[in-house]
Amino acid sequence: MRLIKTLTGMLLATAAMAMAAGACETTLKSSDTHPDGYPTVEAVKAMSKSLEERTDGRLCIEIFHSAQLGEEKDTIEQTQFGAIDLNRVSLGPFNNIIEETQIPSLPYIFRSVEHMHTVMDGPIGQEILDAFAEHDLIGLGFYDGGSRSFYNKEKPIKSMEDLKGMKFRVMQSDMFVDMVSALGANATPLPYGEVYSSIQTGVIDGAENNWPSYDTSGHFEVAKYYTLDQHLIVPEVLVMSKKSWDKLSPEDQVAVKAAARDSVPVMRELWVAQEKKSEEKVRAAGSEIITDIDKTPFIEAMKPVYEKYVTSEKLKDMVARIQATE
């Protein structure tokens, strides 16, 4: 009797330890380029918790943050092959693969973050998520990426004139290369992890990103002039490998979608707080923030980008519907 009691006690203790470690029957592997604590990473942790609850412990997620599984472009390929189950990425690196993702990535397409939310939470967002299916991926939901602006190490940029001839890193998307060219500057597409040293060594003068990335990447240390021209409000996306998806029961597929949905409000709340925290940090560290900038010439300069990328009737219609969304 005593032996049984001891054994039962040991089993319970092991189970408790396993629960504490977040163990579950099947652990899905998820990638993120950002460090632990970043809103996207924390949101996927919230998703894991919800998923574990919704599936009675059948599924949970382990997050490989800080680009442990590679840079975004490579991890997208690995997700398509099924070597990575889940991936949290910007829509930018999908632009060359899935044309629908170019639309919410167009410069100045959204009037505000609220406008972006209304569009991406509605039927247009769903059409874009559905477009992933033809590319061995399942689109699960959108996260926020704030608005992206230029920063550089040379000088305060106060107008489009000041951008002339400067070299900026962009995400690996042809459309972003054209966007920078249309502004009179030169673009170099590079993986995120190479930006810091490329600015430091002068391969590029700067890059463009949102407050939290400008902060947590440390780019503010090497590029102190940040001009809030807000040329992009690119949503971020959470995708699952179609290969991993197909292994799940229909019931668990429903749970994955629901858990992803549960994580969106968590992400949005964390995002707002992080933007504020990052802004305070980089200002205190001595970054010079240029807010007084006329965006009109920037918006006008984007016409050739729209002409080059918004070509089919389907994409033109999507742009028109976004512009008509209140």
Min CB(88)–ligand GTR separation in Å = 7
Write the interaction track for ligand GTR spanning residues 128-147; mark x where CB under 6 A is met and - where it is not.
Answer: -----------------x--
Work out whether 95 is an interface residue with ligand GTR (CB under 6 A): no
- CB-based contact 138:82 (threshold 8 Å): no
Which residue from 310, 272, 306 is spatially nearest to 117, judged by alpha carbons? 272
Cβ proximity to ligand GTR: between 48 and 213 the closer is 213
Binding mask 148-177 for ligand GTR (x = CB under 6 A): -----------------------x------
Does residue 211 belong to the site contacting ligand GTR (CB under 6 A)? no
Q: Does residue 262 belong to the site contacting ligand GTR (CB under 6 A)?
A: no
> Which residue number, 55 or 213, has a Cβ lying nearer to ligand GTR?
213
From candidates 94, 192, 211, 226, binder to ligand GTR by CB under 6 A: 192
Stretch binding ligand GTR (CB under 6 A), from 84-92, 130-138, 218-226, 314-322? 84-92
Q: Which residues pair with 239 in a beta bridge?
A: 87, 139
CA distance 52 to 46: 10
DSSP 211-260: HHHHHHT-HHHH--EEEEEEEE---EEEEEEHHHHHTS-HHHHHHHHHHH
Instruction: Pick the stretch among 51-59, 86-94, 151-159, 260-268 that binds ligand GTR (CB under 6 A).
Output: 86-94
Per-residue burial over 207-225, b = 16 or more CB atoms within 10 Å of its CB, e = otherwise: bbbbbbbbbbbebbbbbbb
Chain centroid to CA 58? 27
208 contacts 150 by C-beta, under 8 angstroms: yes
In the chain the first and final C-alpha atoms are separated, in Å, by 71
Give, in degrees to the nearest 5, the angle at Cα 143 between 315 and 194. 90
Stretch that binds ligand GTR, among 89-97, 99-107, 152-160, 241-249 (CB under 6 A): 89-97
Q: Which of 55, 90, 105, 149 binds ligand GTR (CB under 6 A)?
A: 90
Question: Does residue number 204 form part of the binding site for ligand GTR (CB under 6 A)?
Answer: no
Q: Which of 149, 213, 244, 263 binds ligand GTR (CB under 6 A)?
A: 213
Closest CA to 256 of 229, 273, 238: 238
| Closer residue to ligand GTR (CB): 237 or 305 | 237
CB of 92 to ligand GTR, least distance (A): 6
Q: Which stretch binds ligand GTR (CB under 6 A): 85-93, 134-142, 254-262, 284-292?
A: 85-93
Say if strands 225-232 and 148-152 run parallel, antiparallel, or are unpaired: antiparallel
Which strand (E) or helix (H) includes residue 141? Answer: strand 137-143
# of chain residues touching ligand GTR (CB under 6 A): 12
Out of 42, 72, 100, 144, the residue judged to bind ligand GTR by CB under 6 A: 72
Residues that bind ligand GTR (CB under 6 A): 33, 72, 89-90, 92, 145, 171, 192, 209-210, 213, 236
